[in-house]
Amino acid sequence: MPPPPPPPPLPSSSDTSSVENNARNMPSASSLSSDTSSVENKSSNLFGKDKPKLSVTSLNAWFAGKIALKNINIDIKQNCVTALIGPSGCGKTTLLRCINRMHEMTPRASVEGQIILDDLNIYDKSSDPVIVKRRMGMVFQKPNPFPTMSIYDNVASGLKLNGIKNKTLIKNVVEESLEGAGLWDEVKNDLAKPGISLSGGQQQRLCIARALAMQPEILLMDEPTSALDPTASSKIEELISNLKKNLTVIIVTHNMQQAARVSDYTAFMYLGELIEYGHTAQIFKNPAKELTERYISGKFG
């Protein structure tokens, strides 16, 4: 007869060491976790033969001499959604802001390293930050439509700022962008109303439409649904998977399930470093690094 069962081996409630014990016995997982450098994370074998849309190499960023990003190496695949996850303060927003050259606008902030968009080295002296920004749209955590503008003008503003005067063209782009942001049917009869008269979820889609109007190649989204209810959030999630047909999305999210649902690739950051980067399914089913495992399954702290 077998002896009475010992206490449950794993996963146990209080004892996180059982996970570590276990990791020691995992030949494949632990050999990966021990010393894969972040440079290897970037390895293009993740994408097969495809060239990355965006390639970040040896990126460091500082705020007033304090380092916020340490030697980040990551390739972003075109027409895919890449999720950035990690605890508060790990540098997700800073990475987005380095990608669209907003970081350098913060007083006493600096950046070093290379970011290549297609064939353009965006930090090259000859590259124009305005052009770089135009190729990238950004959507923020809190919907921020221009408060004094109508729905229509919110979307048209970027075009007008860029000197486009052709009214028919503007009208078409506004309609297409609202269509693309999944908002057209809800607002087509109210285009003259103020943008801020919309609900939070609609305002966020208005901001997406505003970004789309500039026909960006990359859409950077920083926690775009954290202020929204589940219905509005899932609308944005559906929208994201539609948008990736035409552009490349990088999304920061604190919602693990959202990252798992919407993204193709997931990058886990911790204390300014890129810890693990891979296919989303792999990261969530079988992360290579213990730290990733602990973060995504809520075993932190």
Partner 1 sequence: MARLIDLGLNQLTIIILDMASIAEKTVIKSITSYKEDNMEATKEIFKTSAKLRFLQDEVSELTTELIARFQPVATDLRYIKSCMEISYGFSRFGRYAYDIIDTLEIFGPLELCDKSLVISMSEIVLEMMNTGVSALRLLDNSLSNKIYEMENYVDILYKKSLREFAANIKVNPVYSDNRCNISSALILKYLERISDHSCYIADSVNYIVTGLSSPRR
Site for ligand ATP, rule CB under 6 A:
63-64, 68, 86, 88-94, 106
> What distances in angstroms separate CA 30 from CA 25, 191, 291, 301, one per listed residue?
8, 57, 12, 22
Q: Which is nearer to ligand ATP, 109 or 187 (CB)?
A: 109
> What distances in angstroms separate CA 140 from CA 203, 204, 274, one per listed residue?
11, 8, 22
Closest approach, Cβ 86 to partner 1, in A, equals 15
Please report, as residue ranges, which positions from 16 to 35 form the binding site for partner 1 (by CB under 8 A): 19, 22, 25-29
Q: Does 1 bind partner 1 (CB under 8 A)?
A: yes
What is the edge-to-edge ordering of all strands in the sheet holding 218-222?
A: 136-139, 218-222, 248-252, 81-85, 265-270, 273-279
Closest approach, Cβ 28 to partner 1, in A, equals 5
Residue 207 token pair: 């901001």
Q: Which is nearer to ligand ATP, 95 or 214 (CB)?
A: 95
Q: Where do we find the tokens 């960023």?
A: 61
Closest approach, Cβ 276 to ligand ATP, in A, equals 15
Please report, as residue ranges, which positions from 110 to 139 form the binding site for partner 1 (by CB under 8 A): none
Closest approach, Cβ 11 to partner 1, in A, equals 5
293 binds, among ligand ATP, Mg ion, partner 1, none (CB under 5 to 8 A by kind): partner 1
Please report, as residue ranges, which positions from 257 to 296 form the binding site for partner 1 (by CB under 8 A): 257, 260, 284-287, 292-293, 296
Distance (Å, rounded) from C-alpha 167 to C-alpha 182? 22
168 binds, among partner 1, Mg ion, ligand ATP, none (CB under 5 to 8 A by kind): none
Q: Where do we find the tokens 């889609």?
A: 205
Closest approach, Cβ 8 to partner 1, in A, equals 3
Q: Which is nearer to ligand ATP, 11 or 89 (CB)?
A: 89
Please report, as residue ranges, which positions from 185 to 204 form the binding site for partner 1 (by CB under 8 A): none
Distance (Å, rounded) from C-alpha 118 to C-alpha 265? 19
Closest approach, Cβ 300 to partner 1, in A, equals 10
Bridge partners of 273?
270
Distance (Å, rounded) from C-alpha 173 to C-alpha 155? 9
Residue 263 token pair: 């993204």
147 binds, among partner 1, ligand ATP, Mg ion, none (CB under 5 to 8 A by kind): none
Binding-site size, partner 1 (CB under 8 A): 33
Handedness of CA 277, 94, 177, 128 (dihedral sign): negative
> What distances in angstroms separate CA 170 from CA 157, 175, 179, 215, one per listed residue?
10, 9, 14, 13
Q: Which residues here bind Mg ion, judged by CB under 5 A?
A: 93
285 binds, among partner 1, ligand ATP, Mg ion, none (CB under 5 to 8 A by kind): partner 1
- Tell which residue, 209, 254, 259, 200, has the closest CA to residue 232: 200
90 binds, among partner 1, Mg ion, ligand ATP, none (CB under 5 to 8 A by kind): ligand ATP
- Tell which residue, 66, 70, 58, has the closest CA to residue 115: 58
The site for partner 1 (CB under 8 A) is made up of 1-2, 4-6, 8-14, 19, 22, 25-29, 256-257, 260, 284-287, 292-293, 296-299, 301
